[in-house]
Amino acid sequence: MIHPGLWQIRHAEKGWYRWLVFATAVTGTFMVNVDSSVMNVALPVLEREFHAGPQVLQWVISAYLLVITGILPIVGSLSDRLNRKRVFITGVVIFTGGSILCAFSDSIEQLILFRVVQSIGGSIIMGNVMSIVSYIFPSRQRGRPLGLVGSVVAAGTIVGPSIGGLLIAAYGWRSIFWVNVPIGVLSVVASVFVMMPIRSDKPARKFDVIGSILFFVGIVSLMLFVSEGQTWGWMTLRSLGTFLLSAIMLSAFVWQEVTSKSPVIELSLFRLPRFVLGNLTGFLSYVMMMFPSFLLPLYMHDVLRIQTVHIGLLLTPQAISMILFSPVGGFLADRIGTSWPAAIGLFFGTLGLILMAFLDATSSYTDIVVALSVFGLGMGLFTSPNNVSVLESVPIEKSGLTGSLIATVRNFGRVAGVSVTVLFLQLSGNDLQSSDGFAHASSFAFRMGVIIGIIGTVLTVTRFLVHAKKWSVAHEPSR
């Protein structure tokens, strides 16, 4: 419910006001995504500054990702109980404060700790943006703004390394955290004056603390197993212990949610076909995205001997295509529904992987650009309609939890995607140290990615059957 009594209520139904709130909300999203992508550029500098090895440095990124993924559904569940405006502002304040602390870090351990603080704020921001958009924009008008959220995420990911490189070269690594401060202050001020209080009509419920702890430990353990199992060895004591801990915690979590009167995640949502299919195909799409992200830089460097600076430029067509076509996917979702754009999007995404599977030692820059452009077109068309389908499959008062689950699926899909890609490289049976061997191995991995894409496309087409069944039941004459 959007509470009256403020100047915003007079303009709540006007298009310009909705887009003003949208711009206010995505400012925080842009900041979080820039910050997550900028850290890769800073790692070599941090290595020299703190004399830390790769095994320690990885936690500057890994700790951030693990904590965000572990608490996103918890944050979403809380925002459904509270005032989303206040929750969002709190997230921006925590993220900005964490950035200041990171800038003052005197050791790599402090930096990792303060990145965890940042991640708490980032999860609150990410877990509320889709919910705010869903409340501000009415049904059948959410596709375009949700599509633009995808464009903002892609844009932040693109400009992050460039901005980071310039800032680090001119002012040092601490500047990549200081730059968040004015953006954070702007976001807080704009949110206070522009955004209206948004609260659910449902009565407030108790918060399931036990369920939250079980979920956090379970999902973080699972992500550690998936991301580090390749390094540790899948059958080592550490890997098996981590997996066992995850299985126990997640099983206990399910039992807790079934018996709790105020669960963190209402398991009844998983009885909704559109909700399940949307999250499952979303997961597969993010697994697919990691194939070119992981394989192509190595392919271009090891097989085609392309310089690093050119590799970065050759990877941008995918992101540019996603920026351009995410709003198109949202527009189509508003006009013709979510099923067709999502299915067509995954089809083109799969086609892009097919083109990548044909890359070899004789391929040209044009071959790479075309394949990435087709892939980015497909992912852009798919993501927005899929998110709309998931969000509109649940009651509006659960949009905070739903948006957080979408973000959780995104993060987990990316982590799983890297592990699956490496696994396929090894299963190819080729010598990964030679150019020809890696070319054949990457082609094999891309072909496996095509199979994942086909499965995702088939599941997306299944929505037609679900929709047709619902329409048939709704229009069946009463007897």
The answer to whether residue 132 is domain-embedded is yes
Rounded to an integer, what distance in angstroms lies between the CA atom of residue 97 and that of residue 180? 9
- Long-range pairs for 245-250 at CB < 8 Å and ≥24 separation? 245/217, 245/218, 245/221, 246/218, 246/219, 246/221, 246/222, 248/218, 249/214, 249/215, 249/217, 249/218, 249/221, 250/214, 250/215, 250/218, 250/219, 250/222
224, 239, 261 - which closes a domain: 261
53: Cβ contacts below 8 Å, ≥ 6 apart: 47
Instruction: Identify whether residues 249 and 174 lie together within a single domain.
Output: no
Rounded to an integer, what distance in angstroms lies between the CA atom of residue 329 and that of residue 412? 23
DSSP class per residue in 281-307: HHHHHHHHHHHHHHHHHHHHHHTS---
Q: Count Cα atoms within 13 angstroms, Cβ side, for 385.
A: 29
Please list the rounded mean pLDDT of every run of 10 residues in the chain (479 residues): 52 73 86 78 80 74 80 78 84 95 93 93 85 78 74 74 79 90 91 78 67 87 80 87 93 87 79 87 90 85 79 80 85 83 93 95 92 93 86 74 78 80 83 84 94 93 63 42
In 3D, which of 160, 176, 435, 161 has the Cα closest to residue 309? 161
The answer to whether residue 202 is domain-embedded is no
The two tokens of residue 429 are: 């049976």
Instruction: Identify whether residues 222 and 159 lie together within a single domain.
Output: no
The answer to whether residue 477 is domain-embedded is no
- Return the SS3 of 364: coil
Instruction: Identify whether residues 253 and 269 lie together within a single domain.
Output: no
In 3D, which of 149, 134, 144, 29 has the Cα closest to residue 391? 134
* Residue 308: predicted pLDDT: 63
147, 174, 197 - which closes a domain: 197
* φ, ψ for residue 476, nearest 5 deg: -70, 130
Instruction: Identify whether residues 321 and 406 lie together within a single domain.
Output: yes
Q: How far is CA 140 from the centre of its chain?
A: 23
* Residue 110: predicted pLDDT: 93
* Residue 351: predicted pLDDT: 97
The two tokens of residue 201 are: 């009509």
The two tokens of residue 471 are: 């329409």
The answer to whether residue 478 is domain-embedded is no
Instruction: Identify whether residues 158 and 232 lie together within a single domain.
Output: no
Instruction: Identify whether residues 213 and 335 lie together within a single domain.
Output: no
* Residue 199: predicted pLDDT: 67
216, 234, 261 - which closes a domain: 261
Instruction: Identify whether residues 288 and 304 lie together within a single domain.
Output: yes
Rounded to an integer, what distance in angstroms lies between the CA atom of residue 271 and that of residue 395? 14
The answer to whether residue 479 is domain-embedded is no
**8-state DSSP, 263:** -
Q: How far is CA 179 from the centre of its chain?
A: 22
Domain count, the chain: 3
* Residue 204: predicted pLDDT: 57
* Residue 195: predicted pLDDT: 82
324: Cβ contacts below 8 Å, ≥ 6 apart: 151, 377, 380
Instruction: Identify whether residues 88 and 181 lie together within a single domain.
Output: yes
Going from the C-alpha of 168 to that of each of 73, 96, 103, 452, the distances in angstroms are 34, 19, 12, 39
| Domain CATH for 341 | 1.20.1250.20
Domain of residue 153, residue span: 1-197
- Return the SS3 of 2: strand
* Residue 144: predicted pLDDT: 74
Rounded to an integer, what distance in angstroms lies between the CA atom of residue 280 and that of residue 270? 11
**How does pLDDT run across 289-333, given as a tens digit for each residue?**
889 888 888 888 888 888 766 776 787 888 888 888 888 888 888
pTM: 0.77
Instruction: Identify whether residues 228 and 153 lie together within a single domain.
Output: no
Q: Count Cα atoms within 13 angstroms, Cβ side, for 128.
A: 35
The answer to whether residue 129 is domain-embedded is yes
The answer to whether residue 203 is domain-embedded is no
The answer to whether 445 and 425 have CB atoms below 8 angstroms apart is yes
Instruction: Identify whether residues 376 and 360 lie together within a single domain.
Output: yes
* Residue 129: predicted pLDDT: 81
Instruction: Identify whether residues 70 and 56 lie together within a single domain.
Output: yes
Instruction: Identify whether residues 40 and 60 lie together within a single domain.
Output: yes
The answer to whether residue 236 is domain-embedded is yes
* Residue 472: predicted pLDDT: 43
* Residue 15: predicted pLDDT: 66
